[in-house]
Amino acid sequence: MLSPGQKAPAFTLFNSDKKEVSLESFKDRNLIILFFPMAFTSVCTAELCEMRDNISVYAGLNTDIVAISVDSPFTLAKFKEEQNLPFDLLSDFNKDVSQAYDTYYETFVMNMKGVSKRSAFVVDRNGIIQYAEVLDNAGEVPNFNAINETLEHIK
């Protein structure tokens, strides 16, 4: 499992606008990387809407947000539009990034294979992980207070 002090694994994924977004795109800014199991589910919607509703807090901390799932870019585009999410949703359809971040269910509910676990990482402007939380229970959400405390500490 990845832990604070480690370099964040590089990635390049397509967003809901079918444009490539990489970890390198956020150089010189802090980044919250959220992995979530599936668009349009209740807990995932609540989690991402929590981030949406507090976007000004994160902007004030020089922090961007990306949310990653194994959904297709087309599914993510509809989800982003319906929930009015002001940050990139990235498609890890091939599951490479979820595996690199060790946030991956081999088998999820209803025997679905290869789904991202719900998790949160704070990566500082130098690409170093400052916070890592991987949840085995998809019904739980990350500790937003701990994320915010980490960001306050590194701002």
**Is there a contact between 69 and 76 (Cβ–Cβ < 8 Å)?**
yes
Per the structure, the complete domain to which residue 88 belongs is given by: 12-154
Two tokens at 52? 């949406």
Q: pLDDT tens digits for the chain (155 residues)?
A: 899 999 999 999 999 999 999 999 998 999 999 999 999 999 999 999 999 999 999 999 999 999 999 999 999 999 999 999 999 999 999 999 999 999 998 877 777 788 999 999 999 999 999 999 999 898 999 999 999 999 999 97
CA proximity to 81, closest of 33, 48, 114, 54: 48
Cα–Cα dist 43/41, whole Å: 6
**Is there a contact between 5 and 129 (Cβ–Cβ < 8 Å)?**
yes
What CATH number does the domain containing 43 carry?
3.40.30.10
Q: For residue 116, is it within any domain?
A: yes
pTM of the complete model = 0.95
Which active-site residues does the annotation give? 44
β 20-22/113-116 pair status: unpaired
Q: For residue 88, is it within any domain?
A: yes
